[in-house]
Structure 1
């Protein structure tokens, strides 16, 4: 009787072991693991959906903040003039003012050419206004002019810089040639404030 009970328990243990092995070999890889992965994926999507809903709920505040930043940037970063022609004249005046401050009386630096750059890219939201500039300056004056232009407000940018060293250079209005110096050419540009129509078109594309 005891042996029969022991055999039954042994048979039951073997059956359980076989069932566990079959589960590990067939059910777990094909059913249980995919179900766990699906549950994890669903939880991840739910968390992402919650984050997106939270961001959408904050959309009015974000848009208001962006409008405030855009207005602040427009006041200090963009050219104040409403048209490219007026902005070009303002750029030239800014250049003349900076050169005059760096070199009073054009003793060490002078503008030899400044001309609007034609053929700019088609206007988008940010329309660029560019003036091609050529200077004859001493080394220190060149650095001071470039630094003053790029530190100005509204924001101005210097690009396509070409610098050629000269043994002597002549300053317009000064009959005595200066020893050493640089022949400097570059593009000076800024951006017009975006128009409401351009902002609306950009928002529609977005």
Structure 2
């Protein structure tokens, strides 16, 4: 049985009312109320997650501080930086260390001698200041191995780079002892790092308010 005309008008009016309400919601209520509330909820959730991360990091602070103290203690027992405060003093310290190592490997410089040691300015920007000395030696193979081991295995840390080794023929006068291992002409760069200088404190302008502690 088909619906009566009055029923059709009633359903049509109801459908038009629902369409009008939906249109009013999406035009008026959603952009001015629902969307801002959704954005605010998202921002609140982000702040809550950030607060949770901060609280977690603060809870780990004692353990991190304890680990930092251990690392600093390890660094003091085996320092990685050269002890000198300036490049000039550090260069002199590297040269003295080289001379001591060579003298230990070859007492009296009988089978290993320094023929050149010259500071080299390093203009490359690095996080830590680098001090380099160009070295040239004439050594036997066992003595050279001892020198390299002492340089790179000691403390504070010293590094060797640009190593070049050439066989060198020596001419011995009658009565001189001949070295069974032969001679080596060795050149390399010996370098280390010094601690960066702490930044100079900035002068507070007169009348500026004290920092909040």
Same-fold status (TM-score > 0.5) = yes
Mapped contact 1:109–1:138 kept (Cα < 8 A): yes
1:27-54 deviation digits (Å, cap 9, x = unpaired): 4345422321221122112211221233
2:65 pairs with 60, 63, 70, which one?
63
1:133 pairs with 121, 132, 135, which one?
135
Mapped contact 1:157–1:190 kept (Cα < 8 A): no
In 2: Cα distance, 1:68 partner to 1:60 partner: 13
Give the aligned CA root-mean-square deviation in angstroms: 4.8
Mapped contact 2:114–2:138 kept (Cα < 8 A): yes
Q: 1:42 and 1:146, CA in 2 relative to 1: closer, same or farther beyond 3 A?
A: farther
Mapping of residues 3-82 of structure 1, within 5 Å: 3-78=5-80
Mapped contact 1:137–1:184 kept (Cα < 8 A): no
1:184 pairs with 167, 182, 187, which one?
187
TM-score of the superposition, structure 1-length normalised? 0.58
1 or 2, which has the higher helix percentage?
1
Mapped contact 1:79–1:87 kept (Cα < 8 A): no
Q: Unaligned 5+ residue runs, structure 2?
A: 202-213
In 2: Cα distance, 1:25 partner to 1:139 partner: 89
Structure showing greater radius of gyration is: 2
Q: Give the CA deviation at 1:75.
A: 0.8
2:159 pairs with 133, 157, 160, which one?
157
TM-score of the superposition, structure 2-length normalised? 0.57
Q: Give the CA deviation at 1:20.
A: 1.7
In 1: Cα distance, 2:24 partner to 2:190 partner: 77
Higher deviation after alignment, 71-80 or 135-144: 135-144
Q: What SS does the aligned partner of 2:156 have?
A: coil
Q: Unaligned 5+ residue runs, structure 1?
A: 202-206
Q: How many residue pairs end up in the alignment?
A: 190
1:35-92 deviation digits (Å, cap 9, x = unpaired): 2122112211221122123323433432232122111112113469687799777645
